[in-house]
């Protein structure tokens, strides 16, 4: 597709929006588009505008559409254009990711999340408090998060309190439950009073204070470049709520780590680690 055709298309005025925003996915491709249009399911193709030249495509391209198009529609930051890049995609992604790690900065477009409320299966469905928000981020952001996670995990595991059993490989909250069970049985056998105090952090991921998180990452010894990238991920990030394929306006995210984010569990462990250290040092229990 020529640059002129793309510019002409993008200059077309958008139809007036009533209520929430909706998306119309568009697939731009080279000579592969006509074949792709014939191959995907009719129910989906009615929702996609195709613009392509004559020709055919590879089987891998067709399979990718079959596997992904249902879930991709409406999930990419209000972007309604799908560009078929083929083998050049790897080179472009590599260049972009290398620039991110070189400069320690995330482009704003990669910090836009799409938040879907998921019912907790308890309480009144009409109350927002009974929903948990799962955020979907751009695929490139997930790749960057996965790279950072692999690089910081050894340091996080080294620094984390040994009583931390959640979000840790080769461990489970059941390990902590075993300790409680054994202490309880011992108190019963020795006829001693047993008191158990449970603390549940409400909406834990959603109330993380970014400045506190960054300070704790610094004290944990995270590499400077990785520290700057994580800070950039959370600086002026935005989300938009998606409900029944309607997307609301974007809003700023000033606190919390994303529910469903690849890096979120490691960041939360670093954030809450001082509390576990303090409880252990208190000598109580």
DSSP 208-245: --HHHHHHHHHHHT--HHHHHHHHHHHTTEEEEEEETT
Q: What is the pLDDT of residue 19?
A: 43
Report how far residue 257's alpha carbon sits from residue 260's, in angstroms, rounded to the nearest whole number: 9
Q: What is the pLDDT of residue 189?
A: 92
**258 close to 238: Cβ distance less than 8 angstroms:** no
Angle CA 192–195–200, to nearest 5? 160
Report how far residue 82's alpha carbon sits from residue 75's, in angstroms, rounded to the nearest whole number: 11
Q: What is the pLDDT of residue 167?
A: 84
Report how far residue 226's alpha carbon sits from residue 182's, in angstroms, rounded to the nearest whole number: 41
Report how far residue 255's alpha carbon sits from residue 211's, in angstroms, rounded to the nearest whole number: 9
Per-residue model confidence as pLDDT tens digits over 58-110: 455 555 555 655 555 444 444 344 555 555 667 778 889 999 999 999 999 89
Report how far residue 55's alpha carbon sits from residue 199's, in angstroms, rounded to the nearest whole number: 62
Q: What is the pLDDT of residue 282?
A: 85
Residue spans of the chain under pLDDT 70: 1-89, 285
Please name the residue ranges forming H helices in 20-166: 33-39, 42-45, 59-72, 88-103, 139-159
Q: What is the pLDDT of residue 66?
A: 59
Q: What is the pLDDT of residue 245?
A: 74
On whether the pTM is more than 0.95, the answer is no
């Amino acid at each position: 597709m020529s640059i002129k055709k793309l510019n002409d298309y993008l200059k077309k005025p958008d139809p007036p929006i009533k209520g929430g925003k909706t998306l119309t996915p568009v697939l731009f491709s080279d000579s592969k588009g006509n074949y792709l249009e014939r191959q995907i399911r009719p129910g989906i193709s009615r929702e996609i505008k195709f613009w392509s030249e004559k020709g055919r495509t590879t089987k891998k391209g067709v399979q990718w559409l079959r596997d992904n198009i249902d879930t991709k529609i409406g999930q990419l930051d209000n972007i309604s254009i799908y560009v078929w890049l083929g083998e050049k995609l790897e080179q472009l992604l590599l260049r972009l990711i290398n620039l991110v790690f070189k400069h320690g900065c995330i482009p704003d477009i990669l910090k836009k999340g799409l938040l879907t409320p998921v019912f907790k299966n308890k309480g009144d469905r009409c109350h927002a408090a009974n929903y948990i928000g799962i955020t979907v981020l751009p695929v490139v952001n997930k790749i960057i998060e996965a790279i950072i996670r692999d690089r910081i995990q050894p340091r996080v595991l080294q620094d984390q309190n040994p009583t931390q059993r959640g979000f840790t490989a080769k461990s489970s909250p059941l390990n902590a439950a075993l300790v409680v069970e054994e202490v309880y049985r011992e108190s019963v056998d020795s006829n001693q009073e047993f008191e158990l105090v449970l603390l549940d952090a409400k909406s834990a991921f959603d109330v993380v204070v970014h400045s506190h998180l960054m300070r704790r990452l610094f004290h944990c010894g995270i590499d400077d470049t990785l520290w700057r990238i994580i800070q950039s991920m959370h600086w002026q990030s935005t989300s938009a709520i998606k409900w029944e394929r309607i997307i609301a306006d974007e809003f700023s995210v000033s606190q919390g780590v994303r529910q469903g984010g690849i890096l979120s569990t490691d960041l939360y462990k670093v954030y809450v680690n001082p509390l576990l250290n303090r409880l252990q040092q208190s000598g109580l229990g």
